[in-house]
Amino acid sequence: MNSSDICISNASVLTMCSEPEYLDSAYIHIKDGEIIYIGNKPPNYIAKKTIDATNCLVIPGFVNSHTHVSMSLFRGLADDLPLMTWLNDYIFPVERNMDSEFVYVGALVGIAEMLLSGTTTFCDMYLFEDSVARAAKEMNVRCLIGEVLYDFPSPNYGPIEKGFEYTEMLIEKYRDDSLINIAVMPHATFTCSDTLLCKAKELANKHDVLLFIHVSETKTEVELIKARYGKTPVGFLYDLGVLDSKTIAAHCVHLTDDDIEKIFATNTKVVFNPESNMKLASGIPKIWEIKRKGITCGIGTDGPASNNNLDMIEEMDTLAKIAKLGSGDPSCLTAKDVLHMATIMGAKTLGLDKYIGSIEVGKRADMVILNMKSPHLIPCYDPYSTIVYSAKGSDVRDVIVDGKLVVENGCLTFMDWNEIKLKAQGFVEKVRLWTKKASSM
């Protein structure tokens, strides 16, 4: 008899691929990080570890397609404020003082939250991204990350030329890494010159990596770019040649019909961030039209300072509901559509669908075991509906990333949360000092 590393038994499985879509009382075997068997018959493997999934639902791990994970350290620091007060009085003073250790610890906090709520892959844009990679490696989570690039000096790399060098360093360093993927990440059209944007795309092409950028998040941004270039942000990026199948555009709240056509024609990928868009009063993206058009789109939580959590189940719920509200049609986007966007479509958005996003033989083993016994999940007439509209991040019992059990019975296995919390405490005191937020009340 052959051996496997992990066997999940008695599993109800939503595979998120078409054949089969659903399995009951199934076995999943994992070896060397890969799914080697899924089916109803107990196969000829002896597993080193067996996880009983009775009364549970097994699904692919969530792909959080846009976040700034280290901002977890200023979660709740300054809510319910106008954007400019938030930026000038809180975020900028902190970011001016920030260093790589701050970003590392912030990433640990955010990754802990993500793993515990079922996210197995995240896409991150921020400063000192090598520290995010370090945290991701230590916690064993998959990611696509990139150093934020813009025209003004960065607290990490200084002038923009150094930013390109830093990005290239990341690309080289993690080229063959099993978990860490690097993208080129210019911030947005209003913070990056056309020269910067073109150089960024050249760099991405040179190394055959993705480019990630914020696009048309707010009306103000669209108006500013129109005034500056006589084009929408999408039109501007299109004319620069930045849009193609290896570019990811986050937010896309304010798109014209022509913008949607250009995104479709270039096979550009889109990420929706509904909770952040609501909290910052940015608007409702035309999710239903973009989806119907056949554009590949994922879901992201955005950073924990503008959400304020990293829970993909909550984000799915909000996305489905905001699409109904925005379109006026309760049937415009189904729970199944949304779970696709949070798993296999998210993986496709990040260029990782060859490896992850569904539960099939040959793919890397990134999956989540949801405990389905709680009152808020009873009854379950349709598992897609139950996950999207009723479940919570806390229903996640076990999480496997790249074949490793990273969450077991609701606890992290790779790092002690109390240790992370202790590390975070020191930086929280600094943030209070930097922003003169003296007390917790």
* Cβ-based nearer residue to its own copies, 263 or 431: 431
Cα gap 415→105, rounded to integer Å: 12
For residue 185, give the nearest of 310, 84, 271, 101 by alpha carbon: 271
- Which of 265, 378, 411, 433 forms a contact with its own copies (CB under 8 A)? 378
User: 143-158 burial by CB neighbour count: b if 16+ within 10 A, else e?
Assistant: bbbbbbbbeeebbbbe
Helix, strand, or coil here: 93?
Answer: helix
Taking CB under 8 A as the criterion, the residue among 99, 165, 373, 419 binding its own copies is 373
Map the footprint of its own copies across residues 223-252, applying CB under 8 A.
none
How far is 73 from 113, CA to CA, in rounded Å?
A: 12
Segment contacting its own copies by CB under 8 A, of 60-68, 139-147, 342-350, 373-381: 373-381
Q: Does 428 bind its own copies (CB under 8 A)?
A: yes
Size, binding site for its own copies by CB under 8 A: 80
Q: Is the preceding omega at residue 308 within 30 degrees of 0, hence cis?
A: yes
Residue 87 CB, nearest approach to its own copies (Å): 12
Q: Tell me if the bond preceding 267 is cis, omega within 30° of 0.
A: no
Residue whose CB is less far from its own copies, 169 or 284: 284
CA–CA dist 400, 27 (Å, integer): 15
Give, as ranges, the residues between 251 and 310 that touch its own copies (CB under 8 A). 275, 277-284, 304, 307-310
> What are the backbone angles phi and psi of residue 242, rounded to the nearest 5°?
-85, -25
- For residue 242, give the H/E element and its range: none
Q: Is 117 in the site for its own copies (CB under 8 A)?
A: yes
For residue 176, give the H/E element and its range. Answer: none
Pick 328 or 362: Cβ nearer its own copies: 328
Name which position in 235, 303, 393, 403 contacts its own copies (CB under 8 A).
393
What is the spatial distance between Cα 328 and Cα 322, in angstroms, rounded to a whole number? 10
- Amino acid (one-letter) located at 306: S
Nearer to its own copies by Cβ, of 165 and 429: the residue is 429
334 binds its own copies (CB under 8 A): yes
Measured from the CB atom, the residue of 101 and 239 that comes closer to its own copies is 101
Closest contact distance (angstroms) between CB of 296 and its own copies is 21
Q: Enumerate residues 398-427 that contact its own copies by CB under 8 A.
A: 417, 420-421, 424-425
Report the nearest approach of its own copies to the CB of residue 440 (Å).
6
Q: Report the sign of the C-alpha dihedral through residues 70, 76, 78, 81, in that order.
A: positive
Residue 194, number of CB atoms within 10 A of its CB: 15
Do residues 250 and 214 touch, judged by C-beta distance below 8 A?
yes
Task: For residues 283 and 315, give the distance between their C-alpha atoms in angstroms, rounded to a whole number.
Answer: 15
Site for its own copies in 54-83 (CB under 8 A): 72-83
Find the binding residues for its own copies in span 10-39 (CB under 8 A): 21-22
Q: Please, what is the minimum distance in Å from the beta carbon of residue 130 to its own copies? A: 22
441 forms part of the interface with its own copies (CB under 8 A): yes
**Strand residues in 312-395 grouped as ranges (E):** 367-371
The one among 329, 354, 411, 416 contacting its own copies by CB under 8 A: 329
Confirm or reject binding of residue 331 to its own copies (CB under 8 A): yes
Q: For the window 79-108, what string marks contact with its own copies as x by the rule CB under 8 A?
A: xxxxx-------------------------
Q: How far is the CB of 153 from its own copies (least distance, A)?
A: 28
Write out the binding residues for its own copies, residues 299-328 only, by CB under 8 A.
Answer: 304, 307-311, 314, 317-318, 320-322, 324-325, 327-328
Cβ proximity to its own copies, 33 vs 118, nearer residue: 118
What six digits make up the tokens of 87?
């930026």
Which residue number, 344 or 387, has a Cβ lying nearer to its own copies? 387
Let me know: does 85 contact 365? Beta carbons within 8 Å: no
d(CA 296, CA 352): 13
Residue 406 CA to residue 404 CA, distance in Å, equals 6
Question: Which CB sits closer to its own copies, 112 or 400?
Answer: 112
Smaller CB separation from its own copies, 77 or 234: 77
